[in-house]
Amino acid sequence: MAQAPGCMGLLYDGALRGVHRDIIARAGGLVINKQHKGNAPVYLETLTPGRCAHELWASQGRIHEKTHYADGTTQLVPVPITKLEHRGTHTHRWYHLLRIPCRTGPHEHRVPVATTTRTGERPAGQSDEERGFHRAEHLQQIPDNTLTHQNLYGGRNDSESGNAQLDASLWNRRLISYGVPAQRLLTLGFVLAQNSTSRALHTTRTDLQLTT
Ligand SMILES: [Zn+2]
């Protein structure tokens, strides 16, 4: 992040885990990736506003509420996230603003996400590390199976395809330049050509749509 001014974050596949996301989120970056499939749901806390009790669990990268049904079964239901909040300038913190549905009216609740607080960063005994909760692993800034994730994740496939195009554009898929400055120039030229082609195609398609 320090080496790339203006970089907003990282798009990556499921190989990126909480331990990596923690570092990027602490530096103020956003991470968009697929949640690791093997994680079991983790109990987080029970909220008791008024006469209510809402049991919150972390599952699939976000907060769920454990709902008890009349037949004795339970289900983890995703809690709506109304906002991803970013706070801080030097040390960055991230939160989900939750709107927990309830028959007495919805409850607003703020939960930290994306970083795992270490011993000493919170009052004694309250850090994630001391509580044994790997928050960065279990709660993502932009969880899977949300519209925002779906809108952004396609960018990863696009960059894979861009890399393949770059390889394919070179004779024998070999780099034709030596040294970092020359390779940077080559990449810049390729990206300019790629963007110009995309723009031209996009304009053509818009024209077609307008005439039909
Ligand atoms: Zn309630």
Sheet holding 74-78, edge to edge: 42-47, 54-59, 62-68, 74-78
Q: How far is the CA of 67 from the centre of ligand 1 (A)?
A: 12
Q: How far is the CA of 151 from the centre of ligand 1 (A)?
A: 32
Measured between alpha carbons, how far is residue 11 from residues 32, 155, 159 in Å?
A: 5, 7, 9
CA atoms lying within 13 Å on the CB side of residue 88 = 12
Q: How far is the CA of 139 from the centre of ligand 1 (A)?
A: 22
| Distance in angstroms (rounded) separating the CA atoms of residues 60 and 83 | 18
- Helix boundaries (H) for 27-170: 128-131, 135-138, 147-169
pLDDT tens track, the chain, 212 positions? 888 888 899 998 888 999 999 999 999 999 999 998 888 999 999 999 999 999 999 999 999 999 999 999 999 999 999 999 999 988 899 999 999 999 999 999 999 999 999 999 999 999 999 999 999 999 999 998 899 999 999 888 888 888 899 999 999 999 889 999 999 999 999 999 999 998 999 888 766 665 54
Q: Where are the domains of the chain?
A: 9-142, 149-211
Q: How far is the CA of 49 from the centre of ligand 1 (A)?
A: 6
Q: What are phi and psi of 98, to 5 degrees?
A: -100, 150
Q: pTM of the predicted model, to two decimals?
A: 0.81
Q: How far is the CA of 79 from the centre of ligand 1 (A)?
A: 13
